[in-house]
Amino acid sequence: MTSLRSVSAAALSALVLTAALSLAGCDIFGKGGNEYRPRVTDVLRVEVEPNPVTPGDTAVFTCVVEDSTDRSLSFVWFLGGKLDTTSTNSTEWRAPPEDSTYNFKVQVIRPEDASVQSTQKRFTVTVTTGDSAAAAGLTRTR
């Protein structure tokens, strides 16, 4: 009989401990308590200077993030078939000789903190000669 009581007491203790630990971790869940919400570094926008860009010229891409002063961020630029990883929020790209529209993306990661979810932002760059830009009604931004 004694062993049955000690087993019941141990089971009850384990149940109480499990419930307490479950409730202690609720701050990482949403208002309903059942949806996990990881921390995220928000990408606000990607600036392209100039856009449109002339074939053969260089454009500068700048990723504007919510945590702009955070020095632990890394930026992975997916530029067509080329991958460029930087520790700063900008990179340069030389426009190819053909007039076209290019779709790229940047991914923001925090390598030293796996609890922060990476985010990405897609952006478009137009490569066009000055004559093509005027005909299309596009203006250069500087």
Residues 107 and 122: their CA atoms lie apart, in Å, by 9
User: Which residues 6+ apart lie within 8 Å of 110 measured at CB?
Assistant: 41, 70, 72, 73, 74, 116, 118
| pLDDT tens-digit series, residues 69-84 | 777 899 999 999 899 9
Asked if the model's pLDDT at residue 90 lies above 80, the reply is yes
Cis link prior to 38 (omega < 30° from 0)? Answer: no
| Highest mean pLDDT (candidates 38-42, 83-87, 109-113) | 83-87
DSSP 84: E
79 neighbors 93 (Cβ within 8 angstroms): yes
- Which of left, alpha, beta for 137 (phi over 0: left; psi -120 to 50: alpha)? left
The CA-atom distances, in angstroms, between 82 and each of 9, 94, 104, 142 are 62, 12, 10, 25
pLDDT at 115: 79
> Taking the CA of residue 99 as centre, how many other CA atoms within 13 Å lie in the half-sphere pointing to its CB?
8
| pLDDT tens-digit series, residues 94-118 | 999 999 999 999 999 988 887 788 8
pLDDT at 131: 63
pLDDT-based confidence at residue 66 (cuts at 50, 70, 90): confident
> Whole-model pTM?
0.65
